[in-house]
Amino acid sequence: MKILSKEVALPLAFYNRDTWLKVAFFAVCVFMAGFSLYFTDGLVSKLEEREKQQIELYAETIRYVMTSDENADINFFFERIKKINENNTIPVIWKDGSGHLNSINITIPDAIDVEEKQVFLQAKLKEIIAENNKPIEMDMGFQKEYIYYGNSKLLKLLRYYPLSQLLVVLIVGFLGYIFFSYSRRAEQNRVWVGLAKETAHQLGTPLSSLTAWVEILRNEPSINPEIVVELSKDIQRLETITTRFSNIGSTPILNEEDLEDLIFSFINYLKIRISTKVHIQIKSSLAPGQLANVNKYLFEWVIENICKNAVDAMSGTGNMLIYLHEGKNNMIHIDISDTGKGIITANMSKIFNPGYSTKKRGWGLGLTLAKRIVENYHEGKLTLKSTELNKGSTFRISLPKPV
């Protein structure tokens, strides 16, 4: 039997793939980050080795100059000096046998004397040693001297570059997650609207026919008038349901309603349709005639869904309290409390999810619809205020006061 049209079936198939798409996207992001880190680490290692070779060449040249005789190959010296001059970014400090320090590629402040220069280079030497590059030892024959070197600016940038890449990947991943979540919500909204419009349309045809039949029966003297009255009530109920689906399938019109009267009226209607062992009490600390911008049909649907869930949670026996009061930031709160079995911690984050239900024959749409109606159409909030196992739960509807 065909239940869903293609328009509805396609988004549902999209939801089933949604988790896998997120996993695949996350895996691609991790692969990109891992590859980037691996590749950059290789570059850093090669650059470290190259800089080390440059400093070794520098040390070799110094040792050569200091230990060679007058007949030394001067071309060898100048070739190395030319290569050393290529290094203009690696900070180097040369410490001779007496502890005196010389440097290249370190900016020394002007107008300081020799002693101050040595103090300044000592401080720089500590910074260079902290970079954990092993100093190069030069054996001059009569004493040992040391070359200390730090990392070039390019090498430092490359070391931090993977972190910036990782940050970019995380940002892209976060944006991708937002995109998937937004797409899912958009698809869900289209499904809700499509189903609501189709349901209202399908109910409209038989309702018109039933209304006509009731008018015929009303003029038939052989028909018990009480039967016609009850049929009329059922038709009115179906018309209310049709109006609800019609409103949820389009932008509903909000009117200023006396909130207390609206809830009292609906609860009186609901009382005779639920277990007589459930006692409903309404309390209010609102100002008399307090108004709220609501769509009557949709808001009654919210109250109905929460109250029926409360009745089920109490297994048809218990007490229900509806308390209307003012909150902060010009909000009106409606707390609906029951003395039911409560909600376990593991399920508290799932109760508003579509399809989630603890009832064997439940569709898991009541609270989902209620939350959408309150938050999407009334700019309010529907939350689980509190719950305690075997003691009950309290749901809170928060609505803004009319401006």
Residue 83's pLDDT is 55
- The rounded distance, in Å, linking the Cα atoms of 113 and 111 is 7
Separation CA 314–CA 327 (nearest Å): 28
Amino acid 124: pLDDT = 87
Q: What pLDDT is recorded for position 320? A: 96
pLDDT at 171: 83
Helix, strand, coil percentages (3-state) for the chain, rounded to 5, are: 55, 15, 30
- Give the separation between CA 169 and CA 176, rounded to whole angstroms: 10
Distances (CA, A) of 2 to 8, 108, 110: 12, 84, 88
pLDDT at 219: 84
pLDDT of residue 86: 56
Q: Give the torsion sign (CA, 63, 67, 68, 70).
A: positive
Computed on alpha carbons and rounded to an integer, the radius of gyration of the chain in Å comes to 40
CA dihedral 41, 47, 51, 56 (to 10 degrees): 80
What pLDDT is recorded for position 72? 52
Tokens of 156: 């430092």
Give CA separation, 391 vs 304, 338, 341, 344, in Å: 21, 8, 6, 12
| Of residues 140, 49, 48, the one with CA closest to residue 94 | 140
What's the pLDDT at 14?
A: 43
Mean pLDDT by groups of 10 residues along the chain of 403 residues = 38 51 73 76 76 74 66 53 59 82 82 85 86 81 80 75 77 80 72 70 78 85 85 82 74 89 90 89 93 91 92 93 94 96 89 76 76 91 94 96 86
- Identify the pLDDT of residue 248: 72
- Whether the Cβ atoms of residue 213 and residue 228 lie closer than 8 Å to each other: no
* Residue-level pLDDT at 203: 78
Sign of CA dihedral 219, 220, 223, 227: negative
